[in-house]
Amino acid sequence: MMESPAARSIVLATLTSAAVSAHAADWRITPSINTSVGYIDNPRLVRDGGNAYTSYQGELSVPMSFDNGRSQLSLRPRFVYASYPEDPLLDRNDTYVTLAAQQRYETATWSASADFVSDSTLTSELGLTGLQETNRPHEALNLTAGPTLALSDRTQVGAQLYWSDNSYRDALFTGLADYRYSSGALSAAYVWNQNVQVSLQASFGRLEVPVSDTRSDNINATAAVSWQYSELWRADFSLGPSLVQSGGIDARGYVYSVGAIRQGLRSIFNASVSKDVTPTGQGVLVARERAKLSLGHSFTDRLAGNVSAEAVRTEDAVVVPGIGRRAASYEYGALSASLSWRLTPNWSAVVSATGRTVSTSSTSEDASGYTAALGLQWHGDPLTRAR
C-alpha cells in the first residue's frame, strides 16, 4: 500500500507540474477562506448519546486553472482544520488536492486526473461503513485517465481506467482495512436529437485487500438516457444488470440512477435516487442505495438559502463466511439548511444547521447528532494572467 510520504511526494509533483504549465498558458486563481464557530452534539454518532462540544473550523481553498486553447490544466487544493478544545482527539487537519488535465484534438479528447485525500474516519466513513466513531487517519489516492473519440456529429465512444488506493493508520481492531480498487469502462453515446442523448456503458472492477489476501470483482452494464425537457429542466435515467463475485460466490442484481435538475434564474432544484456497487474500508463490495434532494434559492441579491437531505443504505453485495462486515446493513441520513447574507462583494455571513442519524441491523438503537454554526466567508476576486 502507498504510505503517507509517497502520497505526499505525488501531490508535490502535481503541484510542480501545474506551476511549470502556468508559464505556457493563460491562468486563473480564485482563492476563498471559510471560518466558523459552532456547537456540535455527538460528533462521533455513538449510540449512548455522546457529548456536545464547541468547535472552530477554518478552510482555505485555492483553485487554479490554466488554458491555452487546446490544453487545460486545473489544480484544486483545499485545506480544512477543525479544533475541539474540549476534546482534542476530535481535531482534524484535512487535505484535499485534485489535479485534472485535458488535451483536445480535432476528433478526440484525452482526460486524466489525480485526487489525493488526507482526512479522518469522522468524514470518510459517514454514509459508507458507519465506523466514524474511531476517528483514525485516512488517506486515499485516486487516478483516472481515458480518451473520448467523436465518430460523427452524433456519435462518440470512450474508455476510462480508474485506480484507487486507500489506507487507514492506527486502525487495528476497528474493522477497517487498507484496500485497492481498480476498474475499466467502455462507453458509447448517441445524440438522438437536440434534447435527447442515449448511451451504453460496460465496466469491470476489482477490489483487493492485502491484509486478508481477498479479492472481489464486479461487472456492470447500463443503458442511459439524458433528456433536456426544457430550458429549465433536465432528467437522467440509467439501468442495467450487475454481477458481484467474491469467495467463489456470485450475486446478481441491478444498478440504476434517476435524477432531475431544474436550473432557474434564482433557484436550483436537484433530486436523485440511485443504486450502485462500491468498495468500502471494511474490505468488501457493498450495494449502496442513495436518495438526495437539494434546493437553493436567492431571495434577494444579498440573501440566499439552501436546504438538502440525503438518505443512504448499504449492505454487503456478497456475504462471504468469515469476511462479512460487522453489520449486515447500514443506514445514514442527513438534513441540513443554511442562510447566507452577502455583506460586501467579497464577504458573506453564513448560519447553518445539520442533523444526522445512523443505524445498523446489528443494534436496535439509532444514533443521532446535530451541528449549528455561524461562519464568515471570503471569496477573493479572480486573479488572471494571459500569455
Express each pLDDT in 186-245 by its tens digit.
999 999 999 999 999 999 999 999 988 889 999 999 999 999 999 999 999 999 999 999
pLDDT value at residue 12? 42
The yes-or-no verdict on residue 318 having pLDDT over 90 is no
User: Residue 387: which pLDDT band, with cuts at 50, 70 and 90?
Assistant: low
Q: How confident is the model at residue 302 (pLDDT cuts 50, 70, 90)?
A: very high
The per-residue pLDDT for range 48-70, each reduced to its tens digit, is: 777 899 999 999 999 999 998 89
Average pLDDT over residues 73-78: 96
Give the separation between CA 319 and CA 301, rounded to whole angstroms.
53
Asked if residues 72 and 102 have their Cβ atoms less than 8 Å apart, the reply is yes
* Number of other CB atoms surrounding residue 158 within 10 Å: 19
pLDDT at 24: 44
Tell me whether residue 377 is in a domain.
yes
Single out the residue of 67, 53, 63 nearest to residue 22, CA to CA. 67
Report pLDDT for 260: 97
Per-position DSSP letters for 183-247, written without gaps between them: EEEEEEEEE-SSSEEEEEEEEEEEEEETTTTEEEEEEEEEEEEEE--SSSEEEEEEEEEEEEEET
Bridge pairing between strands 196-209 and 64-67: unpaired
Note whether residue 32 is domain-resident.
no
Instruction: Residue 234: give its domain's CATH number.
Output: 2.40.170.20
- The share of the chain scoring above pLDDT 90, in percent, equals 67
Domain residue limits at 232: 103-385
User: Would residue 298 count as lying in a domain?
Assistant: yes
The stretch 123-140 carries a mean pLDDT of 81
Over the chain, what is the mean pLDDT? 88
Whether 208 is in a domain gets the answer yes
* Residue 3 clears pLDDT 70, i.e. is over it: no
pLDDT digits 0-9 by tens, 209-222: 998 888 999 999 99
Provide the whole-model pTM: 0.85
Of 325 and 125, more confident = 125
Q: Is the pLDDT of residue 133 over 90?
A: no
Q: Which of 341, 345, 343, 342 is nearest to 381 (CA)?
A: 345
Lowest mean pLDDT among 109-118, 120-129, 202-211, 273-282: 120-129
Alpha-carbon distance 148 to 178, whole Å? 32
58 belongs to a structural domain: no
Is pLDDT of 261 > 70? yes
Q: What local confidence, expressed as pLDDT, does residue 319 receive? A: 64
**Residue 74 included in any domain:** no
Could you give the percent of the chain with pLDDT greater than 70? 89
96 three-class SS: strand
In a domain, 64, yes or no: no
- Buried/exposed code over 120-144 (b: 16+ C-beta within 10 A; e: otherwise): bbbbbbbbbbbbbbbbbbbbbbbbb
**Domains of the chain: total:** 1
Which pLDDT value is given to residue 282? 85
Which of 117-121, 173-177, 260-264 is predicted most confidently?
Answer: 260-264
* Within-domain flag for 133: yes
